Amino acid sequence: DGGITQSPKYLFRKEGQNVTLSCEQNLNHDAMYWYRQDPGQGLRLIYYSQIVNDFQKGDIAEGYSVSREKKESFPLTVTSAQKNPTAFYLCASSPPGLQLRGYTFGSGTRLTVV
């Protein structure tokens, strides 16, 4: 079945370390997105990419970096510059154009700084 796979499900990071969260999709979707969710809050957009080798900052991009070298992959790196990285991270994808159906989300990665 097609879908989005995020790994790992749980991730622990020491302060000062960079970590990379994986997001892979086999839906042949062009666009991919990273969201951050804090407890009791909605989702906030970190980065998004509409095509390979192109990506745009979302609302809270500081302290994060991404790459889009392949259509199916959109990894997110949480750098040491991110002051409060403990959160639930969600990856999503959508088909090209103004598709009305909406996004497909992964099951998330819960990052904890120890």
Partner 1 sequence: DAKTTQPPSMDCAEGRAANLPCNHSTISGNEYVYWYRQIHSQGPQYIIHGLKNNETNEMASLIITEDRKSSTLILPHATLRDTAVYYCIVRGLTTDSWGKLQFGAGTQVVVTP
Closest approach, Cβ 66 to partner 1, in A, equals 14
Closest approach, Cβ 55 to partner 1, in A, equals 11
**Considering beta carbons, is residue 41 or 112 the nearer one to partner 1?**
41
**Considering beta carbons, is residue 12 or 81 the nearer one to partner 1?**
12
Residue type, 110: R
Q: Which residues bind partner 1 (CB under 8 A)?
A: 4, 31, 33, 35, 40-45, 48, 50, 56, 58, 88, 90, 92, 94, 98, 100-108, 110
Q: Which of 45, 75, 74, 49 is nearest to 62 (CA)?
A: 45
Closest approach, Cβ 114 to partner 1, in A, equals 19
**Considering beta carbons, is residue 13 or 110 the nearer one to partner 1?**
110
**Considering beta carbons, is residue 18 or 96 the nearer one to partner 1?**
96
